[in-house]
Amino acid sequence: MKGQIMASVASIAAFGPWSRMAERLTCAVGHRFPDSRIVVSFCRHFGDQLLKREGTRFARVVTFESGGRMICSGEDRVAANCAMYYFLGTITNQDEDERPLAMLLTRAMRKGDTFLDIGANVGFYSLFVGPLCGSSGAVHAFEANPLLIPHLRRSADFNRPAANIVINPVAVGSESNKTLQLYDPDRIGGSSLYQLEWLNTGQSVTVPLTTIDDYVRQNAVTRIDVVKIDIEGAELDAFRGMEETFRTSPPAIILCELVLLLGRGNAPGSQLASTTRGGYAIEVMDFLSARGYEARAIRAADGLIGDVLQPAAMEHLAQNLINVAFVRPDLKTARPELFGE
């Protein structure tokens, strides 16, 4: 009932002579209250109505606080997803509020830095970080879903020359020079190389696979400052494909989204992680700990790096998703401004 009322109000707002004013007001309120479920719901319905009204003519540009820009185009199948960034300006109202990550990245990234975005989705983090690294730095974005690549390339080009964003239409894993199935590609931001129980595994697309080690070597990447990774349960595979990188140019920070309850089937060439609550997160934490990383919380209020996280605590957390900052031990001395007391 509430959804029907919201859809009706959004329709009136989008098709009346006041539609431009309604759009400006929706953006203003959305950017001010991006964590309000009512606001988010209205933005979603209003965006649907604008797309219905304008179709392929729909064209908007989001400018993030960092100066990065995202194109929202009705020519793309991801227009509805991108419209939410237009109205809200950030990622929020999910199981895990990701605004603290943006705050941390604003502090952490500097001109000339190199940022790896593994699982770029529609490109929020790549486009947000691009101008922070500047033309002297680089953003290397990896996205397996072919539906997203035209949008990513268009937005990346739109940010030049202020940002150097390289789009790589590949999956990242523990092996190179092979292909895997990406399940449920229509589930934007949620498709996976694994047969996760909530996906439509009857639909899949064949995607190429690479390792970070091979990519770094082939593209002469000599430094990596920060990695953001969110690839729906395949993170451990990607880390296994970074062994040489961990030895030669280890990232100072790895921002990783971990699912605490991950029921899944096997994928060719990958190992099946634990399906107990917190088990997969513990595997990732143990793996990175053995390579010199400390798992820390990201403070919700200010995006600073917070307390050390203990693996045993993972199974007792209430939420199902958690963003973790894996940091090198010397980072607190080198960059104390990134840490909360």
Residues 189 and 310 in one domain: yes
The pLDDT tens digits for 263-305 are 555 444 344 445 566 788 899 999 999 999 999 999 999 999 9
Q: Is the pLDDT confidence value at 8 over 80?
A: yes
Which of 88, 121, 154 finishes a domain?
88
The pLDDT tens digits for 152-192 are 999 999 999 999 999 999 999 999 999 999 999 999 888 99
Confidence of residue 12 (pLDDT cuts 50, 70, 90): very high
Strand 321-327 relative to strand 294-298: parallel, antiparallel, unpaired? antiparallel
Per-residue tokens: 42: 């209205």
Structural domain for 122, as ranges: 99-338
Q: Return mean pLDDT, the chain.
A: 90
The domain tally of the chain equals 2
181 vs 192: CA distance, rounded Å = 8
Residues 56 and 197 in one domain: no
Which of 38, 59, 88 finishes a domain?
88
Q: Is residue 232 part of a domain?
A: yes
Q: Is residue 172 part of a domain?
A: yes
pLDDT at 262: 62
The pLDDT tens digits for 53-99 are 999 999 999 999 999 999 999 988 899 999 999 999 987 655 567 89
The alpha helices in the chain, defined as continuous H runs, are: 2-15, 19-32, 37-54, 79-88, 99-108, 124-133, 149-158, 212-218, 235-240, 243-248, 279-289, 331-334
Which of 88, 112, 135 finishes a domain?
88
**What is the CATH number for 200?**
3.40.50.150
pLDDT at 95: 55
Q: Is the pLDDT confidence value at 112 over 70?
A: yes
The pLDDT tens digits for 125-134 are 999 999 999 9
Closest CA to 60 of 41, 40, 76: 76
